[in-house]
Structures are given as C-alpha cells and as structure tokens.
C-alpha cells in the first residue's frame, strides 16, 4: 500500500518516448498475465529440434583435459579482488587453463539426460535450461596446441579448430580498443542463438540471452582471477565485423559479449 512518504519518493510516471528503441523493447518484453506460454509438449518438441551445442563436424578436434584445475581462491576473495585488468600481457596458456576457464564459464556440471531432462546442466544458469549461448575463442599465445579460432563443445569436452593461425590483426580491426587483441592471451566470444530462448519466451527471451551472457562472463572473470590471470569484458566491438569473422549471420546467431584474458601485469606468477 502506498504511504504518503513513498508516494513522494517515486518519480513521476514518464509518458515514454516512442523514438527510444530500448524503451519500446522493454515495454513490449514485459510478462503479462494474458500471455499464453507454449505447452510443455511443444517446448520439448522444439528443444529436440534445436542443437544443444553446435558440433562443427569435420573441423579438427582438440581434446580438452577431463577435469578443470581446482581454484585456490575463496569465493569471498575472488569477488572482493575482481577488477578489470588495466594492463594485460599475452602469456601463452595451456589446455588445462583453457579447459578451466571454459568449464567454469559454461561447462557441464551435472547431466540428468538419462532421467529425461532434455539438456545437461551448465555452470551458468539459463532461463528454462535452454542454454542459448555458444562459446568461441581465439588465441595466438598457446602452449601445446595450435594458434587459431576455436569453438568449445562442452558436451563432447573438446574444441574444434575453425581457422588456424594468428588472427589478432583481424580481431583488432573489429575492436574499439584495438591493442587489446594483441595484449590478450585469449579473446573469448560469447554468441547467442536467439531462437533457443525466444521460441519459448518471445521478446523476453532476448533479455534472458543477454542476462545469461553476463552470468557466463562473471564465471569466467572469477575463474581467471583464481588462475592468477586478468580479464577485460568487452562491449566495445564492431558487431558486424566480429560476426563476419566468426561466420555468423548476425541476426539469428550473433556475438553478444567478448572477454579478453591475459596475464595481469600486476600479478607475477600467472598460471598457464
Ligand atoms: C557490459 C560491459 C562492457 C564493457 N566493455 C568494456 C570495453 O569495451 N572495454 C573496456 O576496456 N572495458 C569494458 N568494460 C569494463 C568496465 O569498464 C569496468 O567493468 C568498469 O570500469 C568497472 O571496473 P571494474 O570492472 O574494475 O570493477 C565493460 C564492462 C561491462 C560490464
């Protein structure tokens, strides 16, 4: 119930501005009591048609270590000490470090598909357990595996090498802060296959996809810290250039977040 006190704290109701796309989107992606969600049967049928993770069949496989490295940092220390790395150095990273970052980011933590759950559960939460995200990364500072652009398949616990060689110059051209491409050990691309969420949640599914990328990024940020590495989350990239580079159509499947990982210049003993 409104009291006189909070009545005055609440700001006046805005008339809205139809020219603001975000306002229009926010208003139109609100849940209404009159929405009719798809039935469980329809959801399960659609999930069966959608890939749980892209397979990139035919591209060279790089197997990941079975288990991630344990992180020798408490959660309270990780949260307290997390910060965006100011100065990053491109130290070579080995497959165990890559596995650890990807696994704690968006890897499979428990799998009850044999009990009828349609998806394996991941390290990050997902609206309806629909897992609309895919993870790619580029590295030209590798230790024990080829440089190049990779796709991560958590179901198979392997990478697929999509394009080999150092592509840092191409990535730099697609970044607002170009130098990060050369200073990072790893550039991670979080992409979204929007329909995996929007088929069920409509426009609100678009919100969920972006929220979920934030969960994954935070997992990776904290994991990097636990490995003695630094990270920079990147929203400053030219979408079309990055999507072209990853060979995504940019509409049904597009890059929604990037993370640079490297040795934090302030930390002397980065792992990898
Ligand atoms: C959505 C988002 C996008 C960001 N994009 C960039 C970026 O493009 N370049 C960059 O240097 N930092 C970027 N950052 C990092 C912020 O600048 C940083 O989080 C902020 O200054 C707060 O500092 P802290 O992370 O050390 O707490 C981004 C952070 C977020 C959450």
Which of 82, 183, 232 maximizes ligand 1 atoms within 8 Å of its Cβ, making it the mutation to test the pocket?
Answer: 232
Instruction: Tell me what pLDDT residue 18 has.
Output: 79
CA of 148 to the centre of ligand 1 (A): 25
Question: Yes or no: is domain 61-264 CATH 3.40.228.10?
Answer: no
Give the closest residue (by CA) to ligand 1 atom 19: 84
Instruction: Tell me what pLDDT residue 32 has.
Output: 92
Q: Locate 5 and state its tokens.
A: 């006190």
CA of 186 to the centre of ligand 1 (A): 17
The widest CA-to-CA distance across the chain, in whole angstroms, is: 67
CB of 112 within 6 A of ligand 1: the answer is: no
Average pLDDT over residues 54-77: 97
Instruction: Tell me what pLDDT residue 102 has.
Output: 98
Give the closest residue (by CA) to ligand 1 atom 22: 84
Position 87 pLDDT exceeds 50:
yes
Give the closest residue (by CA) to ligand 1 atom 20: 84
pLDDT class of 5 with cuts at 50, 70, 90: low
Length of the chain: 272
d(CA 42, CA 31): 19
Going by C-alpha positions, the residue among 226, 209, 211, 271 that lies closest to residue 104 is 226
CB of 234 within 6 A of ligand 1: the answer is: yes
Q: What is the pTM of this model?
A: 0.94
Average pLDDT over residues 248-267: 94
Instruction: Tell me what pLDDT residue 197 has.
Output: 98
CB of 84 within 6 A of ligand 1: the answer is: yes
Each residue's pLDDT tens digit, 6-63: 555 666 777 778 789 999 999 999 999 999 999 999 999 999 999 999 999 999 999 9
Q: Percent of the chain, pLDDT > 90?
A: 87
CA of 144 to the centre of ligand 1 (A): 31
Query: Roughly how many angstroms between the first and final C-alpha of the chain, as a whole number?
Result: 57
Average pLDDT over residues 84-104: 96
With residue 50 as reference, give the H or E element that holds it: none
pLDDT class of 124 with cuts at 50, 70, 90: very high
Position 94 pLDDT exceeds 70:
yes
Position 272 pLDDT exceeds 50:
no
Angle at 39 between CA 153 and CA 111, to 5 degrees: 30
CA of 85 to the centre of ligand 1 (A): 9
Average pLDDT over residues 214-236: 98
Which of 83, 234, 238, 260 maximizes ligand 1 atoms within 8 Å of its Cβ, making it the mutation to test the pocket?
Answer: 234
Position 249 pLDDT exceeds 70:
yes
CA of 257 to the centre of ligand 1 (A): 11
- Mean pLDDT, the chain, integer: 93
CA of 83 to the centre of ligand 1 (A): 9
Average pLDDT over residues 133-146: 97
Give the closest residue (by CA) to ligand 1 atom 17: 84
CA of 256 to the centre of ligand 1 (A): 14
Q: Which residues of 169-184 are buried (b: 16+ CB within 10 A; e: fewer)?
A: ebbeebbeeeebbebb
CB of 233 within 6 A of ligand 1: the answer is: yes
Residue with tokens 């005055």: 8
Q: At what angle do helices 21-28 and 203-226 cross, to 10 degrees?
A: 100
> Which residues make beta-bridge pairs with 263?
89, 229
137 CB burial (10 A radius; 0-12, 13-18, 19+): buried
Position 80 pLDDT exceeds 80:
yes
Instruction: Tell me what pLDDT residue 116 has.
Output: 85
């Amino acid at each position: 119930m409104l009291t006189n006190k909070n009545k005055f704290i609440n700001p006046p109701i805005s008339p809205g501005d139809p020219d603001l796309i975000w306002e229009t989107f926010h208003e139109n992606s609100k849940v209404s009591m009159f929405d009719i969600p798809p039935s469980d049967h329809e959801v399960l049928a659609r999930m069966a048609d959608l890939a749980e993770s892209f397979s990139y069949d035919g591209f060279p496989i790089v197997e990941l270590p079975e288990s991630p490295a344990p992180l020798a940092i408490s959660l309270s220390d990780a949260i307290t000490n997390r910060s965006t790395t100011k100065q990053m150095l491109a130290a070579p990273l080995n497959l165990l470090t890559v596995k650890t970052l990807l696994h704690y980011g968006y890897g499979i933590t428990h799998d009850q598909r044999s009990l009828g759950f349609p998806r394996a559960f991941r390290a990050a939460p997902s609206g309806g357990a629909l897992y609309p995200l895919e993870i790619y990364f580029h590295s030209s500072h590798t230790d024990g595996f080829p440089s190049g652009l990779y796709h991560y398949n958590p179901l198979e616990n392997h990478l697929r090498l999509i394009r080999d060689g150092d592509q840092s110059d191409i990535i730099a051209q697609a970044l607002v802060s170009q130098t990060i491409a050369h200073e990072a050990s790893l550039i991670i691309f979080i992409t979204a296959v929007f329909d995996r969420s929007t088929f069920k949640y409509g426009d609100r599914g678009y919100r969920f996809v972006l929220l979920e990328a934030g969960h994954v990024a935070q997992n990776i940020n904290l994991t990097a810290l636990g490995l003695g590495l630094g990270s920079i989350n990147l929203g400053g990239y030219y979408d079309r250039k990055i999507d072209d580079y990853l060979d995504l159509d940019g509409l049904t499947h597009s890059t929604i977040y990037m993370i640079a990982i490297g040795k934090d210049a302030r930390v002397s003993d980065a792992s990898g």
